[in-house]
Amino acid sequence: MFIAAQYFRPPFPHQRFFEEDLKLMKKTGLTALQLWVMWGWVEGVPGKYNFDDYDKLFELAKKNGLKVVLSTIAEIHPFWIHRVIPDSHMVTNMGNKVISSCREESNVGLTPGGCTDNPKVLERMGGFLEAAAKRYSGNKDLIGWDCWNELRWNVFSDGYVCYCPHTLKAFRDWLSAEHGGLKGINEAWKRRYASLEDVLPGKTFGRTYTEMMEFQRFLTKRAAVHMAFRYEKIRKYDKTRIISAHGAGPSINTGGGKNEQALSRGNDFELADKLDGIGCSHFPFWGEGFDFHGFGVRVEAVRSAARDKVMWVSELQGGSARGGIEVHRSVTPEVQNNWVWNGFSRGAKGIIFWCWRDEVFARESSGFGLAGNDGLAKERLEALSVSCEKMNEHEKLFNGYMPDPAKVGVFFEPDTYYMKWAEKGNSIDPIKSIEGYARALEKLNIPYDIVESSHLKYLKDLKVLFMPWPLIVNEDAKKELLSFVKNGGTIITESELDAYTGLGFYNYTGDRTLAAAFGLSDKGRRELNSKNRAFKIGKNKLKSDTWVTPLHLEGGKVLAKDTAGNVLAAEKKFGLGKIIALSTFCGKAYAEAPYTDFENFTASASKNAGVESFFELKREKDANVQWRSGVSGGERLLFLINNGKATKITASWQDKKQMISLSAWSWNVYIIEKDVLKKL
């Protein structure tokens, strides 16, 4: 367990601050600092590595009793990369050579730099990674590595990349392996290519889905291959320490953006397969940001990908954000401490603040400092020292803590992201749909897993699975999902289950093998109107979104109809389990405008499936309290995070009950001792 702050992004801060800053870090109670080991800085001259700054900081860390996390920034390339490797430039989808430049907040190298599908670029990058690992793997004060920062590789590419000859070859080789050569590609894509050289990636969104979806899938897989490359280069010299990485956000939120395809930075679940741990960045007070429920969704999504591996809160907002000559909210100490304990309650083993001092470069200058100049640094550090003291006092207990296993899942199918991006250039619809169910579960404090379609090992441990925006389900997942329901699980699926193939071809109703296995079909899409915009299931009135598809569930029970007699919701027993089918996208509707009836529906579906928690907690009306519980060794812990006014809750467990008073904006950890909840 550790709480750290990012400290060095060369050449900032200046060495004159090192001694004073590290002393204050230690005084505050931090246990570590993070250093950016940047390729563009370390190898300023080809073949010559200069680690002097880092050596100095390791010495000072040891002197002050601090540990170190090293973040290898291999994606910011040396200024010489294109001169030494002339054919290393990336190429955009419009055929333009990308001219690399300094990144907006970095001063010491080029981005996006050379294409790593070029073997000469990859060889040079590998040399840097090995040099860093060789130099510091023997240092006893090293905690571990963050080997890829926010999974960046195409920042400031000025277009969709990469379409250089090296990437085109890699894409065609991958396609050929996936489909069994040109003949298999023609059969799968329904084309008549004469040569593999004629096969091209999709150019941009808004065209035929197939080649754009395949290229996105290739980029996702390529990220996992590259992650393995980074991991292996460091593991060659460091045989024991954690090697982690982190994205700018969890995969369920990465639906593409400016000059970036959906999931082009990789899929957390696939990346975690190559690592010892994984995390992501969290800046809740940057711009509109996100609330505590949104923070919880992000952490749970990463924890779900990590599963039995280590999960870090890899970047947590330190001070007020910046994005140019502008200002954002100052980070209050109470809110910041609640972020910390929210992360720990969900199983995080490390918190790394971004960053210690205010930034100095370009768009991020004057911001983000935990000890920065936004007016609240003194109060933040004083409050954080209390958290650090508590963590250090009970380090063994917290280090062994594991949250209670979830019994509820929310399905994540990357193929739906690819198809929606191929259509619109973003994946907002599936993102909002997943977010809706996850946020409702957050509001209800029901633990859940994000269940990725190719990682279904733990599906058998769940009781209920929500399937938002299920227009595509990959073939392997279909078998697992059928088995899940036959063996007693409950699936709640939204509209048009299995309506498209993974290559973006529309399935007629009779060709939807998963839906057909359940006896589920529909009568096609209908516009929303006053008759179908909302419908009742029991006492709960649910809101429709996008469209409705009137349902037929063979042998099922009708749960809701519109006034014209169209079935809008139905349920059916299937084996030992049950399927509930909805004709629309209720999760998306909730994400855009939360309401109580959807939460009640989600809670009822979970309870009816047999989902129970060790603790039952009752809040006062309008109380904004989050909680998680779990075990550490033989001890049971309860984390309570109050994000609002002073309130009371009643905790019940087994045959015990206890009233707990919570002060405003507070965090508390309790342990059961002699049948009583005792505050640590």
Q: What value does the mean pLDDT take over residues 109-121? A: 98
**CA–CA separation, 327 vs 287, rounded Å?**
9
pLDDT tens digits, residue range 233-290? 999 999 999 999 999 999 999 999 889 999 999 999 999 999 999 999 999 999 999 9
Is position 194 within any domain? no
pLDDT tens digits, residue range 327-367? 999 999 999 999 999 999 999 999 999 999 999 999 999 99
Asked which of 367, 399, 431 is the last residue of a domain, the reply is 399
Is position 169 within any domain? no
Q: Percentage of the chain with pLDDT > 70? A: 100
Paired strand residues for 670 = 638, 679
Helix (H) or strand (E) holding 56: helix 52-63
Is position 528 within any domain? yes
pLDDT tens digits, residue range 570-591? 999 999 999 999 999 999 999 9
Q: Which amino acid is at 673?
A: E
Is the domain of 642 the same as that of 563? no
Asked which of 608, 629, 653 is the last residue of a domain, the reply is 608
DSSP string covering 560-609 = EE-TT--EEEEEEEETTEEEEEESS-HHHHHHHS--HHHHHHHHHHHHHT
Is the domain of 665 the same as that of 538? no
pLDDT at 257: 87
**CA–CA separation, 307 vs 588, rounded Å?**
26
pLDDT at 402: 98
pLDDT at 372: 97
Is position 51 within any domain? yes
Q: What value does the mean pLDDT take over residues 75-97? A: 98
Instruction: Give the contacts of 558 (CB within 8 A, at least 6 positions apart).
Output: 567, 569, 570
Is position 171 within any domain? no
Paired strand residues for 657 = 652
pLDDT tens digits, residue range 372-422? 999 999 999 999 999 999 999 999 999 999 999 999 999 999 999 999 999
Is the domain of 100 the same as that of 248? yes
Is position 280 within any domain? yes
Residues of the domain holding 627: 615-679
Q: Which is nearest to 321 in space by CA: 282, 348, 293? A: 282
Is the domain of 525 the same as that of 572? yes
Is the domain of 624 the same as that of 601? no
Is position 188 within any domain? no
CATH label of the domain that carries residue 434: 3.40.50.880
Is the domain of 349 the same as that of 443? no
Instruction: Give the contacts of 654 (CB within 8 A, at least 6 positions apart).
Output: none
pLDDT at 590: 98
Is the domain of 632 the same as that of 601? no
Angle between helices 428-444 and 596-608 (to 10 degrees): 70
pLDDT band at 551 (very low <50, low <70, confident <90, very high): very high
| Structural domain count of the chain | 3
Q: Which is nearest to 582 in space by CA: 538, 551, 547? A: 551
Is the domain of 596 the same as that of 637? no
Is the domain of 355 the same as that of 281? yes
**CA–CA separation, 569 vs 585, rounded Å?**
11
Q: Which amino acid is at 650?
A: T
pLDDT at 152: 97
Is the domain of 546 the same as that of 635? no
CB-based contact 469:429 (threshold 8 Å): yes
CA distances from 204 to 80, 200, 291 (A): 31, 12, 33
Q: What value does the mean pLDDT take over residues 522-543? A: 97
Asked which of 399, 430, 452 is the last residue of a domain, the reply is 399
Is the domain of 556 the same as that of 619? no
Is position 187 within any domain? no
Report the half-sphere exposure of 78 (CA within 13 A, side-chain side).
21
Is the domain of 138 the same as that of 253? yes
pLDDT at 508: 94
CATH label of the domain that carries residue 123: 3.20.20.80
